[in-house]
Amino acid sequence: MKRFVLSVVAAMVTAMSVSAENYEVASPNGKVKVTVETSQTTRWSVSYDGKMVLLPSEIGIKAKLGKKTLTLGKVGKVSKKTVRSRFQTPFYKKAAVQDEYGQMLLYTNQKWVIEVRAYDDGAAYRLVSSASQPLEVENETAEFCMSDDYTAFIPYVNDNRSGERYCYSFESYYDEQSLSEMYADSLAITPLALCLPGGMKAIVMDAGVENYPGMMLVKGDGNTLKAEFAPYPLEQEIGGYDRLNLIPTKRADYIARIDAKQALPWRAVVITEKDADILNCDMAQRLAPACRIADTSWIKPGKVAWDWWNNLNITGVDFASGMNTDTYLYYIDFAAKNQLEYIIIDEGWSGKESLMDDLNPDIDLPRLIAYGKQKGVGIILWSSWRNLIGSNPTGDMAVTDAVMKHYADMGIKGFKVDFFDRDDQQVIASAYKVAACAASHHLYLDYHGLKPFGIQRAYPNIFNFEGVKGLENSKWEPRVGDGPLHDQPRYDVTAPYLRMLAGPMDYTPGAMSNALKDSFFGNNDHPMSQGTRVHQMAMYTVFEAPLQMLADSPTKYMQNQECTDFIAQIPTTFDETIAIDGQLGEYIVIARRKGTVWYVAAMTNWTPRELTLSLDFLNSGIHKADIFADGTNAHKEATDYRHIRKDVSSTDRIQLHLSSGGGWTAIFR
Enzyme catalytic residues: 418, 472
* Cα 533 to Cα 515: distance, rounded to the nearest angstrom: 8
Distances (CA, A) of 241 to 323, 393, 416, 476, 579: 21, 19, 17, 15, 39
Query: Is the CB of residue 135 less than 8 Å from the CB of residue 124?
Result: no
- Rounded distance between C-alpha atoms, residue 504 and residue 496, angstroms: 9
CA–CA distance, 465 with 543 (Å, rounded to integer)? 12
Amino acid 493 reads: V
The number of beta carbons lying within 10 Å of the beta carbon of residue 520 is 22
Given a contact cutoff of 8 angstroms between Cβ atoms, the answer to whether 309 and 331 are in contact is no
Q: Taking the CA of residue 205 as centre, how many other CA atoms within 13 Å lie in the half-sphere pointing to its CB?
A: 33
Please classify residue 604 by burial: count the beta carbons closer than 10 Å to its beta carbon, then call 0-12 exposed, 13-18 middle and 19+ buried: buried
Which alpha helices (DSSP H) does 109-186 contain, by range?
Answer: none
- Do 78 and 561 contact (CB within 8 A), yes or no? no
Q: How far apart are CA 294 and CA 567, in angstroms?
A: 32
**In this structure, are residues 19 and 107 in contact, taking their beta carbons and an 8 Å threshold?**
no
Contact 182, 153 (CB under 8 A): no
- Write the CB contacts of 219 (distance below 8 Å, at least 6 apart in sequence): 179, 182, 183, 184, 186, 225, 226
441/104 Cα distance (integer angstroms): 40
183: helix, strand or coil: coil
CA distances from 350 to 45, 347, 363 (A): 52, 7, 9
Rounded to 5 degrees, φ, ψ at 363 are: -115, 115
Between the alpha carbon of residue 377 and those of residues 330, 369, 607, the distances in Å are 12, 9, 40
Q: Output the CA torsion 342→348→353→355 (10° steps).
A: -30
Alpha-carbon distance 448 to 416, whole Å?
7
The 8-class DSSP code of residue 350 comes to S
Closest CA to 125 of 45, 233, 7: 45
Crossing angle for the helix pair 398-410 and 425-440, nearest 10 degrees? 30
Classify each residue of 636-668 as buried b or exposed e, where b means 16 or more C-beta atoms within 10 Å of its C-beta.
ebbbbbeeeeeebeeeeebebbbbbbbbbbbbb
